[in-house]
Amino acid sequence: MRKGEITRRGIIRKAAPIFNQKGYEGAALSELMEATGLEKGGIYRHFQSKQQLAAEAFDYAWATAVSTRLEGTEQIANAVDRLKQIVWNFRDRREGLVPGGCPLLNTAIDTDDGNPVLRGKARRALARWIERLEAIVAEGQEKGEIEADVDAREVAMLIVSGLEGGLMMSRLQKKDEAIKLACRHLEEYLETKVRAAASEATKRGKNS
Amino acid sequence: MRKGEITRRGIIRKAAPIFNQKGYEGAALSELMEATGLEKGGIYRHFQSKQQLAAEAFDYAWATAVSTRLEGTEQIANAVDRLKQIVWNFRDRREGLVPGGCPLLNTAIDTDDGNPVLRGKARRALARWIERLEAIVAEGQEKGEIEADVDAREVAMLIVSGLEGGLMMSRLQKKDEAIKLACRHLEEYLETKVRAAASEATKRGKNS
């Protein structure tokens, strides 16, 4: 990797927690300079604008969040079990994330009434995240693990909104109660409304 | 009402949409001046600081949200029906609100990593909102309308987190899909897990 590219990536990595914690407006140049150890010119040699830096910081924070949430799930054969592990990862694996909470939730609220570039990033990230979960549901339906009559997109959206709502409350309360509760509720939903009854029967059949 | 008090309330009312849409850092003095038609000195004659104005603007926006969400619910006798109406109000009655979305969600995310005064306001508002819903559940349990073994606080928290998560997604997508889905899910939850089976039997008994 070229030296310029190394510096560039370092700036993104160090700027990401500031944007994720303070929001776009709240992220002061002085803090970005302190975190990166660079002068203004040193930062903006690599980025056209604050908005471009913020957009790349979002991409970095979001990519980290997605890979953390999917960690160890791809090898889980059953689709419902895979979705449950994603829910648990959301609740439990918050150490590897960029500090400041879910980048999607933060950027959604932060850019709600302005900042179209960042807003577009967040909207596309949400769309892809929903599609990803939806694909797991669809795969589970093809394999008979998930009820044929559930709507894959609805399942995906309920998982995302349930988790984000619980996380928002937990962050405000500085307690895990809400996110734990949201996860328990989603688990029950996945077990009772999403998992195919036949799949359970098949499993029992195989084990007996 | 004294003239000073009228001016003061006018400032709060006009500043509230700016803080709710732009956040604390994003709300520029120039915008506050334009919205209120006052000079800096004219605003700060009535408030000690930007933080004090923001805090009162939050109180105003939140009081509006709570009264809108409870509108027409107090006269509903059955506790489950009352909770369902609150869920519907959250989804449908967004016209009377201070522009910019749910003040609680906005302030929670905006003050997540700073601004302890506003953060404290939001935390207490959330606590009281949960207590309010919890009291409806508890009342329903006393009257036999709600299953005795559900946890009133859990029901209250799931309603709040389900709605806020759905709203966050809907605002990002600029579509009602997510909030409508979250409401439908909560309705089903209230009907199948919260409403007392006996209460349904009683109703049928009364109607026959």
How much is the pLDDT for A113? 66
Of A25, A122, A169, the CB nearest to B26: A25
How much is the pLDDT for B197? 87
Query: What distances in angstroms separate CA B30 from CA A44, B18, B173, one per listed residue?
Result: 27, 11, 30
Taking only the tens place, the pLDDT of each residue in B164-201 is 999 999 989 999 999 999 999 999 999 999 999 865 55
How much is the pLDDT for A117? 87
Question: In this structure, which amino acid lies at residue B93?
Answer: R
- Mean pLDDT of the A172-179 span: 93
pLDDT over 70 (residue A150): yes
The residues, any chain, with a CB within 8 Å of residue B145's CB and separated by 6 or more, are B78, B79, B80, B195, B196, B199
How much is the pLDDT for A207? 46
pLDDT band at A203 (very low <50, low <70, confident <90, very high): low
- Mean pLDDT of the B100-112 span: 85
Between residues A61 and B111, the one the model is more confident about: A61
Q: ipTM score here?
A: 0.89
pLDDT over 50 (residue A208): no
**Minimum distance, in Å, between the CA of residue B161 and any CA atom of chain A:** 4
Of B21, B126, B182, the CB nearest to A169: B126
pLDDT band at B66 (very low <50, low <70, confident <90, very high): very high
Do the chains contact at A161 and B166, CB–CB below 8 Å? yes
pLDDT over 80 (residue A202): no
Q: Which residues of A touch B157 (CB under 8 A)?
A: 169, 177-178, 181
- Mean pLDDT across chain B, nearest whole number? 91
Interface test with A, best of B98, B172, B190 (most A CBs within 10 A): B172
**Please, how many CA atoms are within 13 Å of residue A159, restricted to the half-sphere of its CB?**
32
Taking only the tens place, the pLDDT of each residue in A88-132 is 999 998 888 999 889 998 888 877 767 888 999 999 999 999 999
**Please, how many CA atoms are within 13 Å of residue A47, restricted to the half-sphere of its CB?**
21
Query: What distances in angstroms separate CA A112 from CA A67, A124, A158, A175, B188, one per listed residue?
Result: 25, 14, 21, 26, 30
3-state secondary structure chain A: CCHHHHHHHHHHHHHHHHHHHHHHHHCCHHHHHHHHCCCHHHHHCCCCCHHHHHHHHHHHHHHHHHHHHHCCCCCCCCHHHHHHHHHHHHHHCCCCCCCCCCHHHHHHHHCCCCCHHHHHHHHHHHHHHHHHHHHHHHHHHHCCCECCCCCHHHHHHHHHHHHHHHHHHHHHHCCCHHHHHHHHHHHHHHHHHHECHHHHHHHHHHHC
How much is the pLDDT for A143? 96
